[in-house]
Amino acid sequence: MRSLLIVVAALLAVGCSKPAEPPSMAATPPTAAGDAVVSAAPAVVAVEATPAAPAISGEQAFAMCAACHSRDAGAHQGMGPNLHNLIGRKAGSNPGFDYSPALKASDITWDAKQLDAYLSAPTKRVPGTRMAIAVPDPARRQALIEYLSAP
């Protein structure tokens, strides 16, 4: 059951992190009735700049984490530990959760820098950790870290 949930969480992470596809390059129609357009080189299409995508909120960033974690005071421990008051806490120290030996021995105290490194590649930062879900997008990680840092 635990493996199934990890796979589902991984699929959610991949589905949520796909970049937007570029606009299609439509052919330019002939300029007048009956005119033929002949070109040896592909046409250059000018694309107007579009406004940047709206920033993701911390709550939105945490949605994929909620499959395994909670962040509310007194909430249950799920597949992952409760992340309430995570900042300043030693990794592997939340009572009532069975952490991997690797995370317990990591000597990490969670702050923004440590979270950023861990979330970008958990198994590289702490080989042997059970958390296999990474957050590769820096903007999403930043929103998530700010959300987890809030009281």
- pLDDT at residue 134 in the model: 95
CATH number of the domain where residue 77 is located = 1.10.760.10
136: domain range? Answer: 2-17+56-149
Does the pTM of the predicted model rise above 0.95?
no
Is residue 128 in a domain?
A: yes
Per-residue pLDDT, 13: 46
State the Cα–Cα distance between residues 69 and 80, nearest whole angstrom: 5
What are the CA-CA distances from residue 27 to residues 30, 31, 41, 48, 130 (Å)?
Answer: 9, 12, 13, 17, 50
pLDDT tens-place string over residues 92-114:
999 989 999 999 999 999 999 99
Asked if residue 43 belongs to a domain, the reply is no
Give every residue of the chain whose pLDDT is below 50, as ranges: 1-31, 35-39, 41-50
Task: Show the tokens assigned to 140.
Answer: 């999403």
Which pair of structure tokens corresponds to residue 18?
């796909």
